[in-house]
Amino acid sequence: MATATAQNLSFVLEGIHQVKFEDRPIPELKNAHDVIINVKYTGICGSDVHYWEHGSIGSFVVKDPMVLGHESAGVISKVGSAVTSLKVGDRVAMEPGIACRRCEPCKGGKYNLCENMEFAATPPYDGTLAKYYVLPEDFCYKLPEHLSLQEGALMEPLSVAVHIVRQAQVSPGQSVVVFGAGPVGLLCCAVATAFGASKVIAVDIQKPRLDFAKDYAVTSTFMPSKAPATENAERLKRENDLGGGADVAIDASGAEPSVHTGIHVLRNGGTYVQGGMGRSEMNFPIMAACSKELNIKGSFRYGSGDYKLAVQLVSTGKVDVKRLITGTVKFEEAEQAFKEVKAGKGIKTLIAGIDA
Ligand SMILES: [Zn+2]
Ligand SMILES: [Zn+2]
């Protein structure tokens, strides 16, 4: 429903598989530290597709129409009166979750765990698939001149990977096994390599994904068989000369067999990080976790310093995000991008924005 004054075309989810383009009001500067961004590229990920397909993720249920998208980069089109770090025309990666800065996790330095988080495309908050989006200046990260806005859109999944690898405390010389060779899994491999891991092993059940991983950022790949997790873990250790087991296992798949194999592939005292989101409840090899005295951690989105490091890793050439971009569609064809992700086509499809 376009009106004469509205000029903020947005891609809105109304219900399961029901999307529409809606011209909404241009967002306003709510605070002197806010900036308005003309969104240029947006990546689509599993969570967007999940809302489109099911209308909910866990306890987050889409009740009112919601703009989709949260992996974006754009150009600053307006700045609030107190903004000092950015000016109109600056190209930025957009961190799409605004923390309250007042709750205990925020004050404790873990704002990704904010109790009042307003996260793009998580109900009831609108996402970034619009012509314009508003953010506080400190949630925008200026892109160095040699980085493209397309690369800028990839800073979101890369920040997810940075946070996971930081949670795992990967250090030089370590062996890291990453389950799931989708965008986040691949980026975890790249970040672990950048952190100095000497063995990085990607695990997936799809051969094309492993073939890509092989010449992207891993030392080897592993395709599990239908055998029990303990057997797959033994074979993985043997094939990769891991002795008593890997130092770190990261799950970026959310699949139960991966979680099991991840626990069994670790050495005594190893570290396991859950990054993937699959079923909310599953069986878990708790005895192995206990007797091996594993460090088990979750990882959720990204926190202080993660976006900054993501931009640095790409800008210094330590992580290549360009190769993950396998297609770009026009804004008007946004739904096509969702269909492609759903069909498992390509690695990362971007949706172009609408120029100001
Ligand atoms: Zn995402
Ligand atoms: Zn908070």
What does the pLDDT profile of the chain (356 residues) look like in tens digits?
Answer: 444 557 999 999 999 999 999 999 999 999 999 999 999 999 998 888 989 999 988 888 999 999 999 999 999 999 999 999 999 999 999 999 999 999 999 999 999 999 999 999 999 999 999 999 999 999 999 999 999 999 999 999 999 999 999 999 999 999 999 999 999 999 999 999 999 999 999 999 999 999 999 999 999 999 999 999 999 999 999 999 999 999 999 999 999 999 999 999 999 999 999 999 988 899 999 999 999 999 999 999 999 999 999 999 999 999 999 999 999 999 999 999 999 888 888 899 999 999 98
DSSP-assigned letter for residue 307? H
Give the ligand at the shortest distance from the Cα of 116.
2
Judged on CB neighbours under 10 Å (0-12, 13-18, 19+), 266 is buried
| Cα–Cα distance list, 113 to 98, 100, 141, 348 (Å) | 11, 10, 20, 27
- Catalogue the long-range contacts made by 327-336 (C-beta closer than 8 Å, 24 or more residues apart): 328/41, 328/150, 328/352, 331/9, 331/11, 331/129, 332/21, 334/11, 334/19, 334/68, 334/129, 335/11, 335/19
178-198 burial, b for 16+ CB within 10 Å, e for fewer?
A: bbbbbbbbbbbbbbbbbbebe
CA–centroid distance, 99 to ligand 2, in Å, is 5
The three-class DSSP label of residue 40 is strand
Cα–ligand 2 centroid distance for 112 (angstroms): 8
pTM value > 0.85: yes
Question: Quick one: which H or E segment has residue 270?
Answer: strand 266-274
For residue 72, give the ligand nearest its CA: 1
What's the token pair of residue 268? 């005594």
What six digits make up the tokens of 65? 């129409």
Distance from Cα 183 to the centre of ligand 1, integer Å: 10
Q: Which ligand is nearest to the CA of 95?
A: 1
Cα(113) to ligand 2 centroid in Å equals 7
Cβ of 199: how many Cβ atoms within 10 Å? 19
Check if the beta carbon of residue 247 is closer than 8 Å to that of residue 233. Answer: no
Ligand 2 centroid–CA 164 distance in Å is 20
CA of 102 to the centre of ligand 2 (A): 5
* Rounded distance from Cα 184 to ligand 1 centre (Å): 9
Ligand in closest contact with the CA of 42? 1
Residue 5: what pLDDT? 59
Yes or no: say if 62 and 123 are a contact pair by the CB < 8 Å rule: yes
| Ligand 2 centre distance from Cα of residue 24 (Å) | 28
Burial (CB < 10 A; 0-12, 13-18, 19+), residue 6, is: middle
**Residue 171: what are its φ and ψ, rounded to 5°?**
-130, 165
Ligand 1 centre and the CA of 209: distance in Å?
19
Q: Which residue has the tokens 């390509």?
A: 346
Instruction: Kindly give the distance from the C-alpha atom of residue 43 to the centroid of ligand 1, in angstroms, as a whole number.
Output: 8
